[in-house]
Every structure is written in C-alpha cells, then in structure tokens.
Amino acid sequence: MIGIIGGTGFYELLENAEEKTITTPYGNPSAPLKIGKIGSKKVIFIPRHGSKHEYPPHKVPYKANIWALKELGVTRIISITAVGSLKSEIKPGDIVIPDQVVNFTRREDTFYNGPETTHISFDTPFCPEMRKSIIDTLNDTKEFCIHKKGTVIVIQGPRFSTIAESNFYRSQGWDIINMTIYPECVLARELELCYANISLVTDYDTGLKNDPNIKPVSTEEVIRVFKENSEKLKTIIKSVVKKIPEERNCICSKALDGAKISN
C-alpha cells in the first residue's frame, strides 16, 4: 500500500475515495485519510497541512500523520512539496528529486524517546528504490525540467528566509529550501517505511543577486505556481504509483536491524 502526502496547494488526489478517521498515540492526523486505488494498487492520501491548510509547517502533526499511514498498512510514502530554489539553474516550474536533506528545524523528530535507545542509520534519507521509480517516470514525460538529485535544507518556518540566511544556504552548495520534508523523512525511516519526495520549485527564495527583477518568495506566488502545475503533478504521481515495485529490497525496510541498544 502506498501513502501520498500532499503539500501546499495539493489537497486532493483520489476520486471516489473512502474517508477514514483515525486517532494515533500522537494525536489526530492533519485530516481524515482518503483511501482509494490507482490502477491495481491501494493508495492512501493525506493533505499535510489539513484540508483547509490550517496547519502551518511548525504545527503539522508529523508523528500522527506517519503513524496513521503505518497503522493503515502503508509501506511506501510519496511526499509532494513546494520548494524554493537556491541556484539560478533550478528554475520555478522545475522538479527536484532530492537525495540529501539538512535539518535546520527544532521539531520533535523521533518515535524513540527511551527507555529503549535506538539509533537508525540515515546517510541515505530518501528511499533509493522509490527515487528510481520516480525518476524513471519523469524521464518518460516532457512536462517538467527534472533535477535528479539535490540537497534540501529544511527550515523551521513559518517565516521565509532573510537574505543573509539564504546566502549562507547557497554558500554551502545546497540546492532547494523547504519547511516540511523534515521530520517526515526520518519518522518514516524509524517505522521502516520507504519515503521519497517530489519537490516542485515555486520561487527563488530571496531572489537572485544578479537579477533585481527576480523578487523574493511570496505565499501568493507559491500557490500560483503550484496550482498551475497540480494537474500535471497528479498525472505523474499516478504513473509513479504504477511503476513502484511490489517487493521492497531497500535499506528502509530493514532500518531497525541492529539499531536498538540492549543489555
């Protein structure tokens, strides 16, 4: 079963879906989960920010969302996010499939708070098998300019970056900026779920230093670019779901092997 987490501007996916309300040990998810099918595969969709975007990035119930998907039988998660670009060659309207993440948030990011001490490996934060399925699908479409890897810096939010902060992120060689991919990715790994991300570039963060005509990001612009591309994204996601292999042979499925410390 495949879980899909929708981001800003992406609140619906499945037609004729069954609605499921679930309570977790970590509270309620962002919204009731929608259960349906894409082809022969069962899919569960949840809007990260709620059905009316009532949860800002720092208030999203990340643990409840991931736990609920696991509880309902999900083994793989496709995450959809809006991101800002930190490089001129990564343009609004492009898609990035990140392979690395840097966390600059201050959020609760583990299910393991003791007494059982657990240290998962996280050198590869996004599922390699799912990234391949996504990239293979995108290679077959001409709808987007695709960047097949990239490092995403995840900030606390809800405010956007200062110029000084954005310049620092650029100086590190990082590619895109976002407010929600972390802690989703690590929480999924702790539950041995596969997680991969499709990032739609909506802006240039604080603009481009050498082009005064490129303005800093605004909420209005993020929504506009995402809405312009949402139908194309839905088509791509449906194609990705069909390509994801049934059997899991990835690091995610064995993330807890040897991770727990016991006497």
- The domain segmentation of the chain, as residue ranges, is 2-261
Statement: residue 214 has pLDDT above 90: no
Statement: residue 236 has pLDDT above 70: yes
pTM of the model: 0.93
Say which residue, 15 or 234, is predicted with more confidence: 234
Q: Output the CATH code of domain 2-261.
A: 3.40.50.1580
Statement: residue 262 has pLDDT above 80: no
Say which residue, 34 or 40, is predicted with more confidence: 34
Going from the C-alpha of 225 to that of each of 10, 56, 86, 229, the distances in angstroms are 11, 19, 17, 6
Residues 78, 198 contacting (CB under 8 angstroms): yes
* Per-residue confidence (pLDDT) for residue 82, from 0 to 100: 92
pLDDT band, very low/low/confident/very high, at 177 (cuts 50, 70, 90): very high
With a pLDDT cut of 70, the percent of the chain lying above it is 98
Lowest-pLDDT range of 15-24, 56-65, 207-216: 207-216
Marked catalytic residue, from 94, 99, 175, 203: 203
The arithmetic mean of pLDDT across residues 235-257, rounded, is 91
* Per-residue confidence (pLDDT) for residue 107, from 0 to 100: 96
Q: How many CA atoms lie within 13 A of 83 on its CB side?
A: 34
Catalytic residue status for 99: no
Q: What span, in angstroms and rounded, lies between the C-alpha atoms of 10 and 229?
A: 10
* Per-residue confidence (pLDDT) for residue 114, from 0 to 100: 85
Residues 76, 41 contacting (CB under 8 angstroms): no
* Per-residue confidence (pLDDT) for residue 216, from 0 to 100: 87
Q: What is the mean pLDDT of the chain?
A: 92
* Per-residue confidence (pLDDT) for residue 16, from 0 to 100: 76
Statement: residue 230 has pLDDT above 70: yes
Statement: residue 210 has pLDDT above 80: no
* Per-residue confidence (pLDDT) for residue 263, from 0 to 100: 63
* Per-residue confidence (pLDDT) for residue 237, from 0 to 100: 87
Predicted confidence (pLDDT) per residue in 75-86, tens digit: 999 999 999 999
Q: Which two tokens stand for residue 7?
A: 């981001």
Predicted confidence (pLDDT) per residue in 94-143, tens digit: 999 999 999 999 999 999 998 888 999 999 999 999 999 999 999 888 77
Statement: residue 9 has pLDDT above 70: no
